[in-house]
């Protein structure tokens, strides 16, 4: 199963990067498979650690895709990095091994610390649609325009029915981005 998260990595100069990322997780390990090239890939190679942030706030995913990543952060307990201040929870991981690949190497990371910060308040279809829209946005150069627009239209229904103010603003931003990129 793939779990959608926000990964925080840091380079050797101390620059922090947040990125939306689907991970695979079991009890003690997390698999991270970033594309070549990517900041997450470079940072994992440089420092060998990351924080995996679990959030139900889809605006973090939207803002990452739009390049608005100046999120509030806090220092991790066990690694020299940060976690998303408004995360529900986060895991701190260290890279144990790398399975090289020409497109997407797989980093096997051991979980060395887990912390919970906020209570999960339940599912919201609009938030799920926002995450799916972000995945579409990340693939505008790969998928056909007709397919992207069809899927975007299908997601719009749940946003219109179930979104709050925050989700509506994020929907407007991500759908505008997708429409501009598919012209």
Domains of the chain: 2-116 (2.30.110.10), 125-181 (no CATH)
pLDDT of residue 42: 98
Q: How far is CA 152 from CA 6, 26, 98, 137, in A?
A: 22, 32, 35, 10
Percent of the chain with pLDDT over 90: 99
pLDDT of residue 46: 98
pTM over 0.85: yes
Q: What does the pLDDT average to over 85-104? A: 98
Nearest-10 Cα torsion for 90, 65, 62, 131: -70
Lookup result for tokens 């986060």: 90
Of 181, 99, 97, 92, nearest to 145 by C-alpha is: 181
The span from the CA of 42 to the CA of 24, in Å, is 19
pLDDT tens profile 110-136: 999 999 999 999 999 999 999 999 999
Using only the alpha carbons of the chain, give its radius of gyration. 17
Give, as one character, the DSSP assignment of residue 36: S
Q: Give strand pairing partners of 54.
A: 89
pLDDT of residue 51: 98
pLDDT of residue 1: 95
Q: Which two tokens stand for residue 59?
A: 């605006």
pLDDT tens profile 41-88: 999 999 999 999 999 999 999 999 999 999 999 999 999 999 999 999
Instruction: Answer for the pair 62, 130: CB distance below 8 angstroms, yes or no.
Output: yes
pLDDT of residue 106: 98
Q: Which two tokens stand for residue 113?
A: 């610390």
3-class DSSP assignment, residue 172: helix
């Amino acid at each position: 199963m793939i779990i959608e998260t926000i990964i925080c990595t840091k380079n050797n100069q101390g620059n922090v990067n947040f990125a939306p990322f689907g991970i695979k997780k079991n009890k003690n390990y997390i698999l991270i498979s970033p594309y070549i090239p990517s900041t997450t890939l470079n940072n994992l190679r440089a420092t060998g650690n990351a924080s995996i942030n679990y959030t139900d706030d889809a605006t973090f995913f939207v803002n990452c895709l739009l390049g608005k990543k100046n999120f509030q952060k806090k220092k991790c307990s066990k690694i020299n990095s940060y976690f998303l201040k408004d995360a529900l929870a986060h895991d701190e991981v260290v890279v144990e091994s790398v399975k090289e690949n020409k497109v997407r190497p797989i980093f096997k990371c051991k979980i060395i610390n887990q912390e919970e910060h906020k209570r999960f308040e339940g599912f919201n279809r609009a938030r799920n649609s926002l995450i799916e829209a972000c995945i579409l946005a990340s693939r505008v150069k790969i998928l056909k325009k007709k397919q992207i627009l069809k899927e975007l239209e299908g997601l719009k229904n749940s946003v219109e029915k179930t979104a709050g103010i925050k989700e509506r603003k994020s929907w407007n931003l991500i759908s505008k981005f997708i429409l501009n990129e598919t012209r």
